[in-house]
Chain A
Amino acid sequence: MTAAIRAEWTKLRTVAAPLWLLLGAIVLTIALGAAAAASLHCTGAACGVDRTRFSLAGVQLGQAVVAVLGVLVVGNEYSSGMIHTTLMAIPRRSVALGAKALVLTGPVVVAGLVAVAGSLIAGDRLVSLAWTTGSTLRAAAGSVLYLALIALMSLGIATAVRDSGAAIGLVLGLVYLFPILASVVSNPHWHKKVEQIGPATAGLAVQATTDLKDLPIGPWPGLGVLALWATGALALGLATLRFRDA
């Protein structure tokens, strides 16, 4: 496994795209978060809204970049035929995919930490956040984990779908369509259900720091739903790898 991880790590760090994508994710996350916080036109408790969540709204954009990285990690190998070499070197499919998942998670977590810290610093300067509360820390840590889980879900979907264009369409469809669908489902019961099962609507509940009882799902259980999506996608990807020729 160590050898597999080293091999995957070498593949990731020796091409330019992943680094640029991670930098892009950081910049876009902070930029949109700062813009969302600035759009509030108020500071402190006077805003009456969840300022921490507004400051972290950039994750909505950053996740698209992270998803691109997650898809590319395996999608590029399929389009270039490199996957044959990879699987010849690491015949155990689970080890190959596991190594990819680990190597993807590390850099995404690091970039996520920078992006979230930057968003919160920018948010604090604009609307002054309540740093000391546990809920802010939960929102911060949860947002980093959220990005990592989105990357893993993308990896799983790309492995299962194989075509990177279709895979990114599917990932972004899952991420962005649930909130839009939820906004038109008017029956409160079904509205809540849609928000509870969507990867982004449930997963981003972890960013809430106020009015927790109004959330469709609790912060950590919400992130758990996204973890289920990621696990399911990876399992599907692994099944595809094992039972289909590359």
Chain B
Amino acid sequence: MSFVHLLRAEWTKFRTVPSWLIGAVVAILVLILIGLVSALGSHAVAAGPGGRPRQVLLGPDGRPVQDDFTFVRRTLTGDGTLTVRVPALTGGETGLEQWAKAGLMIKANTQPGSPYVAVMRTGAHGARMQYDFSGDIAGPASAQWLRLTRAGSHFTGYASSDGSTWTRIGTVTVAGIPATASAGMFVTSPPVEVYEQHFGSAEGNMYPTQATATFDDLTVAGALGADDWQGGPLADTPGQVTRTGDAFTVSGAGNIAPNHPDGNNAVERTLVGTFAGLTVLVVLGVLFVTSEYRRGMIRTTFAASPGRVRVLAAKAVVVGAVGFVAGAIGSAIALPLCRHVLIRNGNLVFAVTTGTEVRLILGTAAAIAVASVLALAIGTLLRRSVGAVAAVIVLIVLPYLLSTAAVVPADAARWLLRLTPAATFAVQQSVTAYHQVEGVYTPALGFYPLSPWSGFAVLCLYAAVAFGLAAVVVRRRDA
């Protein structure tokens, strides 16, 4: 029998058992409904003004950003160079934050979220050049002098420890900064995030911090506007500017960086029903083979097509395809539907690119498909449905539960999500961990130790090994 015939035979077996077809539909429904229940049960406690959903500030590339700082600026038209010395950068009562920033900036305008290029000294990470919120280039470890040059849309940052020998940090091209832009000195200091883990729950709390910097020896080559230096916080963060002759003392709070959402406002929470759908498909995957053993049908199957591994492969293709289609339909409906409900309930849901949405949906479908194949393989090995179903669910769902529902400490949780098939849920991570943004990046808040597709590969590895073992066993063992 050709493989196509085998596939047709196995597909016929699947589709002609009504309870299995119902099972596949149930998998889709629970995937959507569990997400819907979680969305409906998530009325935001503190919604935005007028009960409308809170808005999140978006950067030039449409991704969420934070843009709070104190800015002392003038308009600069055309090309130019700013040079300044920052002899002191100090923290407030809680000390200097490692990502406190003070330096020079050229920004499209004073609207939060507009494009910018900046060169700065930081609390503990030396001189840096940063641009458009996510761009970050490391410079010399210690530098008091900073220089920022504009040539059209090309910007170059320099740092120096003495004001005479300069080190070039980098040159970047940033579109969207008009010929007449705001240029000047800025200070900001990010809030510290304190992470508290209790048994079964975890939360991160933000506490604001402040930094103060002195600037002197400011020189500007270029066409400055007629108004004198003026400054203050851009948003409603605290900050002050005092001027003594040519020296400025500037204090500020906030951050100029990508905004990183936690698990509560990341879009993947709409896919929480994945676990319910996956459980149903694991049962189907196991039953697809164990019921043949139970009823003796397997002997007919193997008599009709003696190539047992090919039979197993055909079964795997069928359950994998069913799992993929069910997962894709379920998550393609659940994601937009639950996001709509969440936003209507006043929740903040961070926007993601279409590519990320597609990855979340297809990744979920692929994870369910491979989990179904793993279930089929373990069902073949054990020939008993109960043990096989329990084994697969314990392998996939329990590690996820232990690590993301904050049962075990973050370190142990990261190892669980590297070593067990639960690593595959990294395909659902939409949030990004930025090295230049201090934050709590734990599994309980949605940050996986592995990248999406390498996490998925861990599950594939388990499925491949189980399938290989099943293939060996099914050839050696009498049916």
**Which residues of A are in contact with B by a Cβ distance under 8 Å?**
35-36, 39-41, 49-50, 53-54, 57, 60-61, 64-65, 67-68, 71-72, 75, 79, 163-169, 172-173, 176-177, 179-188, 190-191, 193-194, 201, 208, 211, 214
CB closest residue in chain A, given B406: A183
CB closest residue in chain B, given A67: B390
Question: Contacts A165-B287, A165-B389, A187-B41: A177 and B279 contacting too (C-beta < 8 A)?
Answer: yes
* B402 CB contact (under 8 Å) in A60, A79, A172, A214: A60
A12 to chain B, nearest CB (A): 15
Give CA–CA (A232, B276) in the complex, Å: 21
The A contact surface, by secondary structure, is: helix
Q: Is the CB of A177 within 8 A of B394?
A: no
Give CA–CA (A71, B405) in the complex, Å: 27
Question: Contacts A71-B386, A187-B44: A181 and B38 contacting too (C-beta < 8 A)?
Answer: yes
Give CA–CA (A41, B286) in the complex, Å: 39
Residue of A49, A54, A65, A181 with highest tally of chain B CB at under 10 A: A181
Q: Does B201 contact A (CB under 8 A)?
A: yes
Residue of A79, A181, A184, A193 with highest tally of chain B CB at under 10 A: A184
Residue of A54, A183, A185 with highest tally of chain B CB at under 10 A: A183
Give CA–CA (A165, B102) in the complex, Å: 62
Question: Contacts A50-B199, A208-B199: A60 and B44 contacting too (C-beta < 8 A)?
Answer: no
Give CA–CA (A54, B411) in the complex, Å: 15
Q: Is the CB of A180 within 8 A of B385?
A: no
CB closest residue in chain B, given A205: B200
Q: Is the CB of A186 within 8 A of B264?
A: yes
Q: Does B303 contact A (CB under 8 A)?
A: no
Q: Is the CB of B282 within 8 A of A181?
A: no
Q: Does B393 contact A (CB under 8 A)?
A: yes
Give CA–CA (A75, B407) in the complex, Å: 32
Q: Is the CB of A214 within 8 A of B407?
A: no
* B198 CB contact (under 8 Å) in A71, A79, A190, A211: A211
Q: Is the CB of B389 within 8 A of A184?
A: no
Segment 224-240 of B: residues with Cβ below 8 Å from A? none
Known contacts A50-B199, A177-B275, A180-B401; 18 additional CB pairs below 8 A are A36-B412, A39-B408, A40-B409, A57-B402, A61-B394, A61-B398, A165-B389, A168-B386, A169-B389, A173-B276, A173-B279, A181-B38, A181-B272, A183-B201, A183-B404, A186-B264, A187-B44, A208-B199
Q: Does B397 contact A (CB under 8 A)?
A: yes
Residue of A166, A188, A201 with highest tally of chain B CB at under 10 A: A166
Q: Is the CB of B401 within 8 A of A176?
A: yes
Question: Contacts A61-B394, A181-B34: A169 and B279 contacting too (C-beta < 8 A)?
Answer: yes
* B390 CB contact (under 8 Å) in A166, A168, A185, A186: A168
Q: Does B299 contact A (CB under 8 A)?
A: no
Residue of B34, B199, B275, B411 with highest tally of chain A CB at under 10 A: B199
Give CA–CA (A50, B408) in the complex, Å: 11
* A35 proximity list for chain B (CB < 8 A): 412
* B397 proximity list for chain A (CB < 8 A): 172, 176-177, 180
**Which 6 pairs from chain A and chain B are nearest by CB?**
A165-B385, A190-B41, A39-B412, A169-B283, A185-B41, A186-B42
* B401 proximity list for chain A (CB < 8 A): 60, 176, 179-180
Residue of B282, B294, B347, B394 with highest tally of chain A CB at under 10 A: B394
B306 to chain A, nearest CB (A): 27
Q: Is the CB of B385 within 8 A of A164?
A: yes
Q: Does B168 contact A (CB under 8 A)?
A: no
* B282 CB contact (under 8 Å) in A169, A201, A208: A169
* B214 proximity list for chain A (CB < 8 A): none
A240 to chain B, nearest CB (A): 16
Q: Is the CB of A185 within 8 A of B280?
A: no
**Which residues of B are in contact with A by a Cβ distance under 8 Å?**
19, 23, 34, 37-38, 41-45, 197-201, 263-264, 269, 272, 275-276, 279-280, 282-283, 286-287, 290-291, 294, 347, 385-390, 393-394, 397-398, 400-402, 404-409, 411-412, 444
6 of the cross-chain contacts (CB-CB < 8 Å) are A49-B198, A57-B407, A165-B283, A176-B397, A177-B275, A214-B198
B416 to chain A, nearest CB (A): 10
Question: Contacts A177-B34, A187-B42: A65 and B390 contacting too (C-beta < 8 A)?
Answer: yes
* A184 proximity list for chain B (CB < 8 A): 38, 42, 263-264, 269, 272
* A61 proximity list for chain B (CB < 8 A): 394, 398
* B389 CB contact (under 8 Å) in A36, A49, A172, A190: A172
* B407 CB contact (under 8 Å) in A60, A164, A169, A208: A60
* B294 proximity list for chain A (CB < 8 A): 79
Give CA–CA (A211, B198) in the complex, Å: 10
CB closest residue in chain B, given A69: B386
Q: Is the CB of B279 within 8 A of A64?
A: no
* B45 proximity list for chain A (CB < 8 A): 187-188
CB closest residue in chain A, given B43: A187
Q: Is the CB of B42 within 8 A of A185?
A: yes
CB closest residue in chain A, given B268: A184
Q: Is the CB of B398 within 8 A of A36?
A: no
Give CA–CA (A200, B273) in the complex, Å: 18
B24 to chain A, nearest CB (A): 13
A208 to chain B, nearest CB (A): 7
Give CA–CA (A163, B19) in the complex, Å: 11
* B275 proximity list for chain A (CB < 8 A): 176-177, 180
* A166 proximity list for chain B (CB < 8 A): 23, 283, 287
* B199 CB contact (under 8 Å) in A53, A165, A193: A53
* A180 proximity list for chain B (CB < 8 A): 272, 275, 397, 400-401, 404-405
Give CA–CA (A35, B412) in the complex, Å: 9
Q: Is the CB of B201 within 8 A of A64?
A: no
B286 to chain A, nearest CB (A): 6
Q: Is the CB of B398 within 8 A of A60?
A: yes
CB closest residue in chain A, given B388: A165
* A172 proximity list for chain B (CB < 8 A): 279, 389-390, 393-394, 397
A106 to chain B, nearest CB (A): 21
Q: Is the CB of A185 within 8 A of B393?
A: no
* B347 proximity list for chain A (CB < 8 A): 186
Give CA–CA (A194, B38) in the complex, Å: 9
Q: Is the CB of A72 within 8 A of B386?
A: yes
Give CA–CA (A36, B401) in the complex, Å: 13
CB closest residue in chain B, given A21: B387
* B283 proximity list for chain A (CB < 8 A): 165-166, 168-169
Q: Is the CB of B34 within 8 A of A191?
A: no
* B43 proximity list for chain A (CB < 8 A): 187, 190
